[in-house]
Structure formats: C-alpha cells, structure tokens
Amino acid sequence: MPELPEVEVVRRGLARGVVGRTVDAVEATGARSIRRHADADEFGGAVVGRTVRRVDRRGKYLLLRLDDDSVLVAHLRMSGQLILTADATRPRARHTHVVLTFTDGGQLRFVDPRTFGELFVSATRSRDGAVVELASLGPEPLDRATTPAVLAARLTPRRTRLKSALLDQRTIAGIGNIYGDEIAFRAGLRHDHRTDSLTPAEVARLHAAMVEVLDAAVRCGGSSLADGQYVDVDGRAGTYQHEHAVFARAGEPCLRCGRTIERVRFAGRSTHFCPGCQH
Ligand SMILES: [Zn+2]
C-alpha cells in the first residue's frame, strides 16, 4: 500500500509529466474509482478542457490543481497506480479504470486491481478543498515546520500506543504500516510504547527517525513489495524494500544486534520489531 514516500515519488513524476497539459477526453469505465461522482459524464465534465497547473501532495493524497481552481484528488489506497504514457495506442493494463487523454495525445491511466483507490474533483478555491479527510489530516512529517516540539504536542497528550499514533492520519500524515515499523525501529522504540510516557529525548529520536526513513525512502523511489503493486508513473518499482530493517524480515537477524526480528499482530496490523533494539 503506497505511503508518503511512494505517493511523493508519484507526485514528482506527475509534476514533471502533466503540469501544463490539458485534458481532452476522459474515459471512466470503473464506477468505483469515481464513486464520489454521479457518473462518468459528471466526472468527465469536471476534468475535460482543464489544464493541470500544479501537483501537490497531502499525506497519501495527490492534488492536481486545475486551471479553474478546482482540484483533481487521487487516492491510491491499496493498489492504485497512476501511469503516464505518450502513446495512447499502447495496450492498457488489466484493471485500468480511468483514462485521461491530453490534447497532445498522451494519457494518464488509473490502474487499480483492488478498487479501493479513487479519483474525484473537489470544486473549491480553498487550499485543501471541502474534503473531510484532508481537513482533518495531521502535519506533514517532512515539512520543516513539523519540529520535534510539534510532534511531542501531538503524541504525548494522548493515551495510546506509538504505532497506533503513527498510523493515525489525524496525528501525523502519510505514515502507514511499512514506515510505521521502520521509523519505530530506527527510533529504538517499540510499537506498543505508550505515547504519554515519551520523554523529550525519545520524541527527538522519533522525529529524526521519521525524517531520515521517509527521506531515504523517497530517494530510493519508495518500497515495492512482492505483490508488485507499487510502481511510479513510468511503471518503475522502488528499491527501498532492500533497505528495510524490520518490515517483512520476521525470523531474520537484526542488522544491528543480531537478535531475531519478531512479527506480531498489533492494532489489527502485521507489526515487525527487534526485541533487542526497541524498548
Ligand atoms: Zn536489534
């Protein structure tokens, strides 16, 4: 499932590939992918003729800012992919649900085998639009304004456990199961560490780990797991999965202390940690 690094890599690809281009036609064959719209015609009506001005990201959401001040929001969820092709005659991948054809003939294709992802247009001039999920998102982990003090203020008043807090998009945006485990490992904190007992030094370690892990993952093009579902706009896989310290390494030795990485079920999610390095 794409998290902040993967979505950021897609954002950069879209920023290079679609800004300045104008949508000429829309085919939306997958009704679930545009479920917030009445039908394909209504969705198409909001997008056709529009030029993409800028591409932003908020948490795991992509925001394609259009020239009428509306926003085409893309949420990849479990398995969504946005693929650019210059050649409209190139065969479409299975599970291609929405195709935007630009006036220059190229296409942006939304592929989504599990159909949890979606595209929708938010017709609003406000920054994040009238989209409930965006309005409630926590701060961006890689934003300079998100300092250790900001993180502390969001974590320590809450009586919850570290991984639950990291996965809660209202606490901090963009972190999911993979990076939640990797960040906790790098910070030396267990997934079930109580947030209201975090010391300033622990929050500082957690903040540094969050920035280092997410930055490194973006530089590697994100993590592509064995399911092969995450690729960038050019169809390329990321390489950060080779750098994972704990995620999907249960039964293997910790690269730092040699103890065996454990896997448990925590907060309904598969969770990986080192019993020697994390407390
Ligand atoms: Zn260890």
121 with 185, same domain? no
Specify the pTM. 0.96
Residues 276 and 169: their CA atoms lie apart, in Å, by 29
Classify residue 129 as left (phi > 0), alpha (psi -120 to 50) or beta. Answer: left
State the chain's mean pLDDT as an integer. Answer: 95
Tell me if 225 is assigned to some domain: yes
Q: How far is CA 229 from CA 38, 113, 181, in A?
A: 28, 9, 20
- State the distance from the centre of ligand 1 to the C-alpha of 201, rounded, in angstroms: 20
CB 31: neighbour CB atoms within 10 A? Answer: 13
Q: What are phi and psi of 72, to 5 degrees?
A: -90, 110
187 with 233, same domain? yes
**What percentage of the chain reaches a pLDDT higher than 70?**
97
What DSSP letter does each residue of 54-114 carry, written as one string?
Answer: EEEEETTEEEEEETTS-EEEEE-TTT-EEEEES-TTSPPPTTEEEEEEETTS-EEEEE-TT
14 with 62, same domain? yes
Tell me if 279 is assigned to some domain: no
124 with 239, same domain? no
Structure tokens at 26: 């829309």
Rounded to 5°, the CA angle 172-176-179 comes to: 95
114 with 160, same domain? no
Looking at the structure of the chain, the number of domains it has is 2
- The residue from 97, 112, 135 where one domain ends is 135
CATH number of domain containing 214: 1.10.8.50
94 with 125, same domain? yes
Q: What are phi and psi of 8, to 5 degrees?
A: -65, -40
- At 2, is the pLDDT very low, low, confident or very high (cuts 50, 70, 90)? very high
Tell me if 140 is assigned to some domain: no
Give 68-106 pLDDT, tens digit per residue: 999 999 999 999 999 999 999 999 999 999 999 999 999
13 with 104, same domain? yes
Lowest mean pLDDT among 8-17, 48-57, 220-229, 266-275: 220-229
130 with 159, same domain? no
- State the distance from the centre of ligand 1 to the C-alpha of 188, rounded, in angstroms: 9
Tell me if 141 is assigned to some domain: no
Q: Which residues make Cβ contacts (< 8 Å) with residue 169, sequence separation at least 6?
A: 59, 60, 133, 136, 137, 138
CATH number of domain containing 34: 3.20.190.10
Tell me if 55 is assigned to some domain: yes
Q: Which amino acid type is present at position 35?
A: R
131 with 153, same domain? no
Closest CA to 98 of 122, 129, 73: 73
124 with 154, same domain? no
| Cβ proximity of 12 and 221 under 8 Å | no
- State the distance from the centre of ligand 1 to the C-alpha of 157, rounded, in angstroms: 29
Tell me if 171 is assigned to some domain: yes
- Please give the residue range of the domain that contains residue 28: 4-135
- State the distance from the centre of ligand 1 to the C-alpha of 127, rounded, in angstroms: 43
36 with 154, same domain? no
Tell me if 58 is assigned to some domain: yes
How many CA atoms does the CB half-sphere of 35 hold within 13 Å? 7
Which residues are part of the catalytic machinery? 2-3, 60, 269
Give 96-144 pLDDT, tens digit per residue: 999 999 999 999 999 999 999 999 999 765 555 556 678 899 999 999 9
184 with 96, same domain? no
- State the distance from the centre of ligand 1 to the C-alpha of 183, rounded, in angstroms: 14
- State the distance from the centre of ligand 1 to the C-alpha of 277, rounded, in angstroms: 4
